[in-house]
Amino acid sequence: MSGAANPARGEAMLRAGGVALVLRPSFEALVAAEAEVGPLFALVERAAAGRLALAELVALFWHCRHEAPEALTREAFSEAVVASGLAAATPVLKTLIGQILAGR
């Protein structure tokens, strides 16, 4: 676990599986996410149109996790995000998309 999210870094806090995780949209994280889901601007457009797939959401969150427990697998993370629900994921997604669009 990595403590509190720092809004100045564009970080967001995600509670998943009873664990609070900091998601940090660093350059490295965003490049990794983009390699998996395609161009970030297209991802933002799909999100704005309500067409963002759950797999894309989880991929973005997974790549942006910062100092997550080493034992946390992607499968467990994915299940935790789903169990937490879209209502919990939406503000986190909004923060990350805002950072993608605005930069630092």
Name the domain count of the chain.
1
Residue pair 29/63 in contact by the 8 Å Cβ criterion: yes
Look at residue 104 in the predicted model and tell me its pLDDT: 62
- Residue identified by tokens 């996790």 is 65
Look at residue 78 in the predicted model and tell me its pLDDT: 95
Any domain includes 32: yes
pLDDT tens sequence across 43-54: 999 999 999 999
Any domain includes 37: yes
**Over 80: is that where the pLDDT of 1 sits?**
no
Any domain includes 1: no
Mean pLDDT value of segment 89-96: 94
Number of Cβ atoms within 10 Å of the Cβ of 21: 26
Strand partners, 23: 12, 65
Instruction: State both tokens at 29.
Output: 């994280």
Residue pair 4/21 in contact by the 8 Å Cβ criterion: no
Any domain includes 2: no
Any domain includes 52: yes
Residue-range definition of the domain harbouring residue 81: 7-102
CA angle at residue 33 from 29 to 36, to 5 degrees?
A: 145
